């Protein structure tokens, strides 16, 4: 069995935990997020006929009061950057977190998830910025933790990239 | 070649063209002929699947060996191998089962043995502590807290137990290996491994320690987690209780062994934990437990209980022994008693039953109960009457049946009943008739009694003297009465003679006083003797031979000087002269 450590990164309130909750069955309480700043969950996916177990480290969101503990990123095979499509600032935070992550784990696969796709009317992120990021090689996936749209796809895309790396 | 040169110069002719073609063909054949043939051979091999298969089969094993460490190779082969195995099992599971049997057998046995060992150890602990004062306390605690009794026992007897060991990749926190005690139910080890790493990172970040430092151990309730760090992996042991210092040393040695054995796999780790199966036995070796030895000292309560039990048993044994002794004494007394024969004795609980034969003249068996110490209520008897032949009983029976007077003493030696003392001749005669009829008496010996009576009769005969009137053969007043008494004594004597089967000689001697002449006195004394003799003979006593003679005045009883003396000398004496 192949295992991979995947980290969930993003600003506070972008819906990381909700995404994970839709994706896995947790064993630990969410209170760990607010105490030690991380919660580990598990999900097994099949990519090209091979089972891969993802150990998902849901890392507490970064905001003006605290920063992400980068030590939690060590050994990650990939990560998911989560931004809130209704808040442009969260996209900037995602970009900053990507830089931090790269400094710790190097050039490992990652996926940018634009969450809250169900709130299309309130969408605030700059599409040109998104195009630019896509041109830079970023993989972007729109998701809705509320409806579940795109969630499986986002994890599958990252897993495929991780498996191929 | 000249044709070729001409052709090049444009000097063309049909015949020349044909010649040129042939020349070209020949030239080609000369220059590239071998290559063309080789190409055709290659083409033929490529077009022939059988040949291709043979070619591939030659290089396939080498190629697979070269790529054995390539995960892509594994992934590529996995579906085919899985489908092949599935198809094989579906078609005929026997070959695969036979192939796996040598592996599964030992593995299953090992797993079962490990589980049984663990279960037996736990069971042993539980059983050892099931019947003690402490166990009772623990049962109360289990009832109060709602926790299983076995768990309470474990908590109170366990020194320590290494319940789980995690081998974790140091950076990612991914689980490389996990082993646990059979008695422990563990949660998802992968997630626990991740959270352990997160906690470890959190602690290190919080206190800003170096990379080589970190959380060595932490405690949660009854559990402790000991962390041993290596260059690429960490070992986390979950321990219940207080382990010895040696455990830390064992963890260090284990992590060193892991690095020595799987160093390359750790360095190149990309998420595949398969290579770390090799160190699983090392980790399993860390799963040890130690229990407190059960105290061998005996508790006071147990002493008291044991003393009570011993006293109870001792009392019971003593009472049983005492009761049995009394019972035996009672039976011995019965068996020793003449006229009683014990034929059966039974004991049931506290009651006793005796069966046997009893002579009516024997003592009442109930009279022995009190003397033996038993209570009358405890003993019941069933007795059949019989006539015993014990000498004392025969003797008593004889005394009873013969109505023996107190002056008679009876003795019995087993066959002969002997009578002594004094008794009337009638009784002696009657006893001689009845004694042989008494059970147990084969003969009756009354001679002592007879002899005694003879002596008495002899004395009585010699004392009582019938007196005669002076010069006459007539009795003086009262003389007849005296004679009558003497006759009665003789009758009695005759009876005794019949009893002993002898004949007695009776001598009658007449006497006279000195008043007459000697001749007169001689004659008178003879007459007087004959008078008495006649009276005796009239009795027809069959066993007495009577003789009479006169003694005249030659044998006076007194000096014969006074009238009183003379009266005494006018007598007839009757005496027993002997036997015949």
Q: What is the ipTM of this complex?
A: 0.90
**Residue B409, beta-bridge partner list:** B420
Four-residue CA torsion sign, B572, B576, B577, B580:
positive
B543 HSE (CA, 13 A, CB side): 17
Residue of A nearest to B188 (CA): A27
Could you read off the pLDDT of B151-186 as tens digits, one per residue?
A: 777 777 778 889 999 999 988 999 999 999 887 777
If you write DSSP's letter for every residue of B417-456 in order, what string do you get? EEEEE---HHHHHHHHHHGGGSTT--EEE-HHHHHHHHHH
Task: Give me the torsion for CA of A119, A125, A128, A131, rounded to 10°.
Answer: -70
Q: What pLDDT, on the 0 to 100 scale, is given for residue B76?
A: 80
Q: What pLDDT, on the 0 to 100 scale, is given for residue B566?
A: 87
Cα–Cα dist B234/B167, whole Å: 6
CB atoms within 10 A of CB A122: 11
| pTM of the shown model | 0.48
Cα–Cα dist A40/A25, whole Å: 11
Asked if residues B227 and B217 have their Cβ atoms less than 8 Å apart, the reply is yes
Determine whether the interchain pair B271/A2 forms a contact, defined as Cβ–Cβ distance below 8 Å. Answer: yes
Cα–Cα dist B518/B294, whole Å: 133
* Candidates A1, A2, A55; nearest CB to B194: A55
Asked if residues B213 and B203 have their Cβ atoms less than 8 Å apart, the reply is no
* Candidates B188, B205, B271; nearest CB to A27: B188
Provide the strand spans (E) within B365-442: 379-385, 408-412, 416-421
Does pLDDT of A34 surpass 80? no
- Chain B closest-CA separation from residue A126 CA (Å): 34
Domains of chain A and any CATH numbers: 2-164 (3.40.50.300)
Q: Is B424 exposed, middle or buried (0-12, 13-18, 19+ CB in 10 A)?
A: middle
Q: Residue B150 is encoded by which pair of tokens?
A: 């076995």
Cα–Cα dist B358/B335, whole Å: 11
Pairing of strands B233-241, B158-169: antiparallel
Query: Helices (DSSP H) in B92-213: which residue ranges?
Result: 93-128, 133-145, 149-157, 189-207
Q: Is B362 helix (H, G, I), strand (E, B) or coil?
A: coil
Q: What pLDDT, on the 0 to 100 scale, is given for residue A65?
A: 65
Q: Is A66 helix (H, G, I), strand (E, B) or coil?
A: coil
- Chain B closest-CA separation from residue A76 CA (Å): 6
Residue of A nearest to B197 (CA): A72
Pairing of strands B351-358, B379-385: parallel
CATH of domain B307-385: 3.30.300
Pairing of strands B351-358, B504-510: unpaired
Does pLDDT of A164 surpass 50? yes
Asked if residues B161 and B201 have their Cβ atoms less than 8 Å apart, the reply is no
In chain B, where the domains are located = 2-59, 72-118, 129-291, 307-385, 391-445, 455-579
What CATH topology corresponds to B455-579?
A: 60s Ribosomal Protein L30; Chain: A; (3.30.1330)
Q: What pLDDT, on the 0 to 100 scale, is given for residue B105?
A: 64
Q: What pLDDT, on the 0 to 100 scale, is given for residue B20?
A: 83
Q: What pLDDT, on the 0 to 100 scale, is given for residue B508?
A: 93
Q: Between vectors from CA B410 to CA B404 and to CA B416, what angle results, nearest 5°?
A: 120
Find the helix packing angle between B479-500 and B425-434, rounded to 10°: 20
- In the block, residue with structure tokens 């008043």: B515
Could you read off the pLDDT of B532-552 as tens digits, one per residue?
A: 999 999 999 999 999 999 999
Among residues of chain B, what percentage have pLDDT more than 90? 29
The pLDDT confidence band at residue A81, using thresholds 50, 70 and 90, is: very high
Could you read off the pLDDT of B25-71 as tens digits, one per residue?
A: 888 888 888 888 888 888 888 888 888 888 888 888 888 888 777 77
Residue of A nearest to B208 (CA): A71
* Candidates A27, A40, A49; nearest CB to B75: A49
Q: Is B27 exposed, middle or buried (0-12, 13-18, 19+ CB in 10 A)?
A: middle
Q: What pLDDT, on the 0 to 100 scale, is given for residue B7?
A: 47
Q: Residue B251 is encoded by which pair of tokens?
A: 């963890």
Query: How far, rounded to the nearest angstrom, does the alpha carbon of residue B313 sit from its chain's CA centroid?
Result: 15
Phi, psi (degrees; rounded to nearest 5) at B317: -65, -45
Q: Is B511 exposed, middle or buried (0-12, 13-18, 19+ CB in 10 A)?
A: buried
**With contacts defined as CB-CB under 8 Å, which chain A residues touch B207?**
none
* Candidates B75, B201, B274; nearest CB to A72: B201
Give yes or no for A44 touching B (CB within 8 A). Answer: no
Determine whether the interchain pair B78/A77 forms a contact, defined as Cβ–Cβ distance below 8 Å. Answer: no
- In the block, residue with structure tokens 């405690």: B219
Find the helix or strand (DSSP H, E) in which A41 lies: strand A38-47
Asked if residues B432 and B474 have their Cβ atoms less than 8 Å apart, the reply is no
Q: What pLDDT, on the 0 to 100 scale, is given for residue B119?
A: 61
Interface mutation target, options B174, B207, B214, chain A, most CBs of A under 10 Å? B174
Out of 3.40.50.300, 3.30.450.70, 3.30.565.10, 3.40.50.2020, the CATH code matching B129-291 is 3.30.450.70
Determine whether the interchain pair B75/A50 forms a contact, defined as Cβ–Cβ distance below 8 Å. Answer: yes
Q: Residue A85 is encoded by which pair of tokens?
A: 């499509």
Q: CA-CA distances (angstroms) from residue B543 to A105, B161, B494, B540?
A: 159, 122, 5, 9
Q: What pLDDT, on the 0 to 100 scale, is given for residue B4?
A: 47
Q: Residue B119 is encoded by which pair of tokens?
A: 């279960």
* Spans of chain B below 50 pLDDT: 1-7, 10
Cα–Cα dist B247/B254, whole Å: 10
Q: What pLDDT, on the 0 to 100 scale, is given for residue A36?
A: 78
Does pLDDT of A70 surpass 80? yes
Does pLDDT of A26 surpass 80? no
Phi, psi (degrees; rounded to nearest 5) at B279: -100, 5
Residue of A nearest to B196 (CA): A40
Cα–Cα dist A165/B496, whole Å: 153
């Amino acid at each position: 069995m192949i295992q991979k450590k995947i980290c969930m990164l993003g600003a506070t309130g972008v819906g990381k935990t909700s995404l994970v909750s839709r994706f896995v069955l947790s064993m630990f309480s969410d209170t760990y997020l607010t105490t030690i700043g991380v919660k580990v969950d598990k999900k097994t996916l099949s990519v090209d006929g091979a089972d891969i177990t993802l150990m998902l480290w849901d890392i507490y969101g970064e905001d003006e009061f605290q920063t992400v503990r980068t030590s939690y990123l060590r050994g990650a095979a990939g990560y998911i950057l989560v931004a809130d499509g209704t808040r442009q600032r969260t996209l900037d935070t995602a970009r900053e977190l990507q830089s931090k992550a790269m400094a710790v784990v190097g050039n490992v696969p990652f996926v940018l998830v634009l969450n809250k796709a169900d709130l299309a009317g309130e969408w605030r992120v700059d599409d040109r910025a998104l195009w630019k990021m896509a041109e830079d090689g970023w993989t972007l996936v729109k998701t809705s933790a509320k409806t579940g749209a795109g969630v499986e796809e986002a994890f599958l895309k990252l897993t495929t990239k991780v498996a191929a790396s | 070649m000249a044709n070729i040169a001409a052709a090049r110069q444009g000097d063309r002719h049909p015949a020349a063209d044909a010649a040129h073609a042939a020349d070209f063909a020949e030239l080609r054949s000369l220059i590239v002929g071998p290559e063309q043939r080789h190409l055709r051979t290659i083409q033929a091999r490529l077009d022939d699947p059988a040949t291709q298969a043979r070619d591939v089969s030659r290089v396939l094993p080498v190629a697979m060996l070269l790529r054995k460490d390539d995960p892509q190779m594994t992934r590529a082969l996995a579906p085919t191998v899985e489908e092949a195995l599935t198809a094989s099992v579906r078609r005929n599971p026997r070959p695969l089962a036979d192939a796996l049997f040598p592996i599964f057998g030992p593995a299953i046995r090992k797993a079962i043995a490990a589980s049984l060992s663990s279960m037996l150890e736990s069971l042993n602990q539980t059983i050892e502590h099931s019947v003690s004062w402490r166990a009772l306390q623990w049962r109360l605690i289990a009832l109060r807290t709602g926790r299983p009794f076995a768990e309470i026992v474990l908590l109170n007897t366990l020194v320590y137990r290494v319940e789980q060991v995690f081998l974790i990749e140091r950076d990612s926190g991914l689980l490389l290996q996990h082993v646990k005690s059979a008695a422990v139910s563990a949660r998802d080890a992968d997630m626990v491994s991740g959270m352990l790493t997160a906690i470890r990172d959190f602690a290190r970040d919080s206190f800003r320690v170096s990379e080589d430092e970190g959380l060595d151990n932490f405690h949660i309730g009854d559990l402790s987690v000991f962390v041993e760090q290596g260059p690429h992996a960490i070992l986390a042991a979950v321990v219940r209780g207080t382990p010895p210092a040696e455990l830390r040393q064992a963890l260090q040695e284990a992590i060193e062994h892991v690095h020595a054995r799987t160093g390359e796999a750790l360095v190149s780790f990309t998420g595949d934990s398969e290579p770390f199966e090799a160190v699983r036995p090392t980790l399993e070796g860390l799963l040890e437990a130690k229990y407190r030895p059960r105290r061998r000292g005996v508790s006071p309560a147990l002493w008291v209980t044991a003393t009570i039990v011993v006293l109870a048993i001792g009392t019971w044994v003593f009472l049983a022994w005492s009761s049995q002794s009394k019972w035996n004494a009672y039976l011995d007394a019965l068996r020793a008693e003449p006229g009683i024969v014990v034929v059966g004795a039974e004991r049931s609980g506290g009651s006793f039953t005796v069966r046997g034969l009893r002579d009516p003249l024997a003592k009442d068996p109930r009279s022995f109960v009190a003397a033996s110490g038993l209570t009358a209520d405890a003993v019941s008897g069933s007795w059949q009457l019989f006539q015993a032949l014990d000498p004392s009983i025969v003797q008593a029976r004889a005394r009873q049946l013969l109505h023996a007077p107190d002056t008679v003493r009876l003795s019995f030696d087993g066959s002969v009943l002997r009578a002594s003392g004094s008794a009337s001749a009638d009784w002696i005669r009657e006893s001689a008739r009845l004694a042989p009829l008494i059970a147990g008496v084969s003969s009756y010996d009354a001679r002592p009694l007879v002899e005694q009576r003879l002596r008495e009769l002899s004395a009585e005969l010699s004392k009582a003297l019938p007196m005669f009137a002076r010069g006459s053969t007539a009795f003086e007043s009262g003389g007849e009465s005296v004679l009558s008494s003497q006759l009665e004594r003789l009758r009695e004597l005759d009876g005794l003679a019949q009893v002993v089967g002898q004949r007695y000689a009776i001598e009658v001697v007449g006497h006279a006083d000195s008043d007459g002449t000697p001749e007169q006195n001689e004659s008178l004394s003879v007459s007087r003797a004959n008078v008495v003799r006649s009276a005796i003979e009239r009795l027809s006593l069959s066993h007495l031979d009577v003789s009479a003679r006169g003694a005249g005045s030659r044998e006076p009883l007194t000096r014969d000087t006074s009238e009183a003396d003379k009266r005494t000398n006018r007598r007839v004496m009757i005496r027993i002269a002997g036997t015949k």
